[in-house]
Structure 1
C-alpha cells in the first residue's frame, strides 16, 4: 500500500512584504476570491488525476498569509481533497497564520472548516524587534493569537526568529523562556539569515545590518537546545522542536522524502519520481489554470541520483537521520553511489555522525556543521 500523500496548498497574498522574507508572497489591492477558489480546486483535481488511489495524510496551507483565505475556500479545498483522494483518519491539516486580530477572528471558522493545527508567525514578543522585522502585529496581539488558537485548534505551533543584530544571550534566553511557558507542543526557532533579494540583503550589503558571527550564533543555538530539551520540546529537525508525537507530520513528509503534491502559485511537488513547480506570479498562475486546467510550469523526471541526493540532503536535517535502505529502494541505486562511506567513518570517529546499520544521522555536535558534513558525505555525481 502506498504511503500517505502530503498536500501543500499555497496562498500567495500578504498585507505587506517582510524585509527578511524570500517566500513567494505578493501584495494586491484586491483578490477575486471566487476566481482563486476555483483555480485552486482545478489545480488540485489535476494532481488527483496524476496520483490516483492515494490517501492524504497531511494538508498544509502555506504562503503568503493563508489566514487571509476565506474559511469557505479552506473548507472547499479540504472537501476536494477528501473527495478526490480520501483523508487519513488522523489527517493533519495545518494553516499558517499571522497574529493580527483580523485574521485571529477567523480561527473559529477555520477550525470548523477542518483545520486542526495552526502555525503562527509570531517571530518575536518584543515590540521593537517586531518593528525591525516589519511585522504588522504587536506583542499583545501575538499572545492573544496563541491563546485564541489554543482554544480552537488541537495543535498549535509558533515561530520565533533569533540571532538578530545586537541580541544578547540573556535577552534570547529570557524570550525563549517566555515562549516555552506559553505551553504549546511545537516551536519553530529560526536563526535570522540574510536571503538574497530581500530588503535585509540590501541593508547588509551597505553595512547597515550585521547579524551575530558564527561563534555567537553557535552559542545561541546551543543554549536553545539546552532550554528546549529541559522543557520537553527537543529538536527533531535543525530548527524545529516538539514534544514526542507532536512533530509536524507534513514537514516530516518533506524531510523523509515522501511523495507530496504542490498546489497553488509557486508550489513545488515531488511525486512519482518527478519534480513539479507551479507558476509563481499570481496572475500567471490564474492564466495557466484557465488555459491548461492546472498551474504547472515545470514537470520533469528526476534522475535516480538526484532523487537519492535530495533524500540525503533533506533527511540528514532530522535528528532521527535517514534510512539508507529506503533511499536505495526509492532511487534504485546502491548506497555507494550516493554516500561516501570513508567520509562517514571519519566523521563518526570525530563524533559528528552516527551510523547504526541502515540508519545514518548527524549528531548534536555535528549539526552546526551540517552544510560542510553534507558536502563531504553526499556523493553528488
Structure 2
C-alpha cells in the first residue's frame, strides 16, 4: 500500500494578503494550549481510521505555520509518530513567511523534525512586495532564505509573476536572480484574481487591471524555458524541481494517493471518502469539543468521481497519467476515462501527446490546461 500523507492546517496570519483566498484568519491572540489539544484530537480521529499505515509526508500549511511555536510542531510530530509508522525518508514540510521573527525559529523547527521549508518570498523587490501586501521587504526575505538554507536539508520558495504591467524583461531578470540562489525547488505562480479577495474588489472598481492572457502565456513559456535550462524543469504546471527534489507531499495529491487533513478547512481523501473540516477556527474548535473531530462534511466517493479527480489532478503533472493503470484501478474502460476522439484531436494540434502509454499535456498545452481538462475528461465521469 502506498504511504499516507498528513496535512496539518494552521489558519492564523499576521495580515491578510490582497490576493489570498486560502483559509487564513487574523486574530489578536491564539490560545496555543487549546489549539494543541484540538489538533491532537483531530489527528487521533484520523489515526483511528488509518492507523497502521506508513506516513510518507507531513505538511504544515496555512495560514502561516511558521508562527507556530516550535514546541507545538514537535508535539504534533511526536503524536503522528505514535499513530503511524514513518517512512525512512519521510518528508516534513512547513510553510514559512520570510520575516526575521519567523526565521529566528528555523533552527528550533529543524530540531523539532521539520526537514523541508517552503518560503513565501513572492517577489524580490520592495515595490512589488508592498503591492502584494507582504509584511517583509526584499532584504529581510533574502536573509530568511539564507537562514533556511543553513538549517533545512531542502528549501523551496514561491514567487508570483504575471503581475499587472510586468514585462518579459522584468520577469526574466527576477527569475534569473531567483535561480541563482541554488534551491532545488521553486513554486512559480501566475497572479490570479480570486473571488472574495481585495484584488477582486479592486478589479471590479476599475482600480486594478490584470495582465492580459496573451502576455501571461508568454511569461509562462519564458518561465518553463528558463527553469529547464537551469536544470529545475517543471514537473507540475507551477512547480519546478531538480530531479529528486519534487514535493513528495504534493505528488501524493497529484497522483491521487490517500491523504488525511486536520485543522480548520483541511480537506482529505482516504478510504474512498472525502472529508472537509469546518473552515472558521471557532467553528472547528466547537466541533472538536462536541464531536471529537473537526469534520464538517464526510461523504463516500463513487468510482466515477474518484476517476475524474485522478484525471484532473494527474494531467497537471509533466509525467501525465497512465490510462491503463487508472482503468485497472477504477474498473473503467480507458475510453470512458478520456474521450479518444478529443484526445486524438488535441494530439494532432500538439497540445497533448502519448509517451510510453501515458497521456501527457505538452508544454504548448499547459497554458490551456483548464480548457483542455474540460474537453478531455468526459462530463459523465464528473457526475458519476
TM-score (norm 1): 0.98
Deviation string, structure 1 residues 274-330 (Cα, Å, up to 9, x no partner): 100000110111111111111001110011111111111110000000122332233
Corresponding residue for residue 351 of structure 1: 350
Q: Is the 8 A contact 1:127 1:139 kept in 2?
A: yes
Shift of 1:350: 1.6
| Contact 2:12/2:27 (8 A) holds in 1 | yes
**Which residue of structure 1 aligns with residue 54 of structure 2?**
55
Aligned ranges for residues 32-181 of structure 1 at < 5 Å?
32-181=31-180
**1:216-253 deviation line (CA, Å, top 9, x unaligned):** 00111111111111111100100000001100000000
Q: Residues of 1 paired with 2:356 and 2:339: CA distance?
A: 15
> Which runs of 5 or more residues in structure 1 are unaligned?
none
Compute the displacement of 1:86 (Å). Answer: 1.0
Shift of 1:372: 1.6
Partner Cα distance (2:332, 2:346) in 1: 23
1:10-25 to 2 correspondences below 5 Å: 10-25=9-24
For residues 323 and 227 of structure 1, the distance between their equivalents in structure 2, rounded to whole angstroms, comes to 28
Distance in 2 (alpha carbons) for counterparts of 1:356 and 1:317: 15
Asked if 1 retains the 8 angstrom alpha-carbon contact of 2:158 and 2:186, the reply is: yes
1:307 aligns with: 306
Once the two structures are superposed, the pairs formed by residues 322-337 of structure 1 within 5 Å of their partners are 322-337=321-336
1:357, distance to aligned residue in structure 2 (A): 5.4
Quote the Cα distance in structure 2 between the aligned partners of 1:294 and 1:332. 33
Are positions 1:269 and 2:268 aligned together?
A: yes
1:238 matched residue in structure 2:
237
1:365 aligns with: 364
Cα deviation per residue 1:250-284 (whole Å; 9 max; x = unaligned)? 00000000000001000000011110000011011
* C-alpha distance in structure 2 between counterparts of 1:364 and 1:21, whole Å: 27
Residues 152-301 of structure 1: pairs in structure 2 closer than 5 A: 152-301=151-300
Deviations 1:197-222 (A, max 9, x none): 00000000111111111110011111
Task: For residue 379 of structure 2, give the secondary structure of its aligned residue in structure 1.
Answer: coil
TM score, norm. by length of structure 2: 0.97
Q: How far apart are 1:87 and its partner, in Å?
A: 0.7
* Structure 2 unaligned spans of 5+: none
Contact 2:254–2:317 (8 Å) recurs in 1: yes
Between the aligned partners of 2:329 and 2:337, the Cα distance in structure 1 is: 13
Determine the C-alpha separation between the residues in 1 that align with 2:46 and 2:331: 25
**Distance in 2 (alpha carbons) for counterparts of 1:66 and 1:26:** 12
CA contact (8 A) 1:6 1:59 kept: yes
Give the ranges of 4+ consecutive aligned residues of structure 1 lying more than 6 Å apart after TM superposition: none
Distance 1:12 1:365 in 2: 37
